[in-house]
Structure 1
Amino acid sequence: MLHILFVCTGNTCRSPMAEGLLRKYAKERGMELEVRSAGVSAISGTSISRHTAAILRDEGVHDSIQSSQLTGQQVAWADLVLTLTGSHKRHLLQFFPDAVAKTYTLKEYVHDEAEVAEDIQELDSLYAEAEMSIALGGEPDAAALQRIIEIRQRIPSFDISDPFGGTRDDYELTAAEIRKALYSLLDKLESARRL
């Protein structure tokens, strides 16, 4: 069974929405997935936002989801870590650089343009190497830092919009972004399962 971890900031809006919706959609397709979510700045045990809860209820999702602070144990548990923005991904890789091979933003993971995928892979490796240098008391390579800048300027944004503090309409727009990405994710996982 594939273990998928969604990561956002406070684990009250986007990642619990993705968690609940993916669990539902996978079940509808007869796919066995275990799905969890966490936040890079979450307070464990906090309730999800009322608009997120309402959207999940409207979708028929009645799971009891509460926020959870991101931990190394959760990252180790996951076969696939999907962040909701690039900054969440960079934060995660700063603390868990060994997770680089299984960590993506949700939108980049389902994106299928080969050239962009190659840039992302190189960028992730450069970030991981820079973090490792810093962790070992060194300085990141200047040429590598310049290369990071060059690549970041070419890559499109793969961020899911943040509805925190917004209206129900803001949350609906975010939910639509997440739904679209989750349908593509399930298609990708089903294709891989058939191979």
Structure 2
Amino acid sequence: MKRNILFVCTGNTCRSPMAEAIFRDLAVKKGLQVEVRSAGVSALDGMPISRNSALVLQERQLSDRFSSNSISREWIEWADLILTMTASHKRTLIQMHPYAVDKTHTLNEYTQDGGAELDNLTALESLYSELQLKKSLGQPISREEKDRVRDLERSIPDFDIVDPFGGSLDIYRRCAEEIERALKKLAERL
């Protein structure tokens, strides 16, 4: 069965285009039936990929012919799996498109082997949703609820892939290596 995978970052000019290109190449090599796209939660349509992202992809002999895409309802509905580069991207996307909550994950979170950290993350996301609803209904959030959020946040490792924007070519290379490690796990999982 063919899977549609959407990678998401901020401007769709650095991390998510690298993830798209690297995973597309991995998928071909592994014979995976996937279609891959990328977009940004704050992207302007049609912007070029960043210079250093293009150089990293060229070094890997991968296509660097991308232009940015902003998140759209159409693309969210198209995707079977949405993988964001950070928890902030994930939260933003879910706030914009709450119906996509079950198929939206950070890339590093999705490719983890499991354990207490992921259980705590699930509990935290559920608590966030509950508190968001309370807030929208004008209900107060208790001290205990705030403490529970803080405790859960402290127990979860950082699943974010750091934004290389404005950094050196070496920083972009390290970012691509981090993305590739997670994408190899993703390929095995699919």
Displacement of 1:137 in angstroms is 4.4
CA distance in 2, matches of 1:77, 1:158: 25
Moved over 6 A (4+): none
Displacement of 1:64 in angstroms is 2.7
What corresponds to 1:64 in structure 2?
Answer: 65
One-letter amino acid of the structure 1 residue matched with residue 129 of structure 2: A
Secondary structure (helix, strand or coil) at the match of 1:12 reads coil
Does residue 1:120 correspond to 2:108, yes or no?
Answer: no
CA distance in 1, matches of 2:21, 2:71: 17
What corresponds to 2:130 in structure 1?
Answer: 129
Q: Percent identity?
A: 46
Contact 2:9 2:15 survives alignment (8 Å) = yes
CA distance in 2, matches of 1:87, 1:140: 24
What corresponds to 2:97 in structure 1?
Answer: 96
Displacement of 1:132 in angstroms is 4.2
CA offset digits 1:63-113 (Å, max 9, x no partner): 632111112221111111111011111111122222211111100111113
Contact 1:97 1:131 survives alignment (8 Å) = no
Secondary structure (helix, strand or coil) at the match of 1:180 reads helix
What corresponds to 1:184 in structure 2?
Answer: 185
Q: How does 1:26-105 map to 2 (within 5 A)?
A: 26-62=27-63, 64-105=65-106
Greater RCO, CA 8 A, separation 6+: 2
What corresponds to 1:138 in structure 2?
Answer: 138
What corresponds to 2:108 in structure 1?
Answer: 107
Secondary structure (helix, strand or coil) at the match of 1:161 reads coil
1:29 to 1:44, Cα distance in 2 relative to 1, 3 A: same
**TM-score in terms of structure 2 length:** 0.91
Secondary structure (helix, strand or coil) at the match of 1:157 reads coil
5+ long unaligned stretches in structure 2: none
What is the total number of aligned residue pairs between the two structures?
Answer: 188
More off after superposition, 25-34 vs 96-105: 96-105
RMSD (CA atoms): 1.7
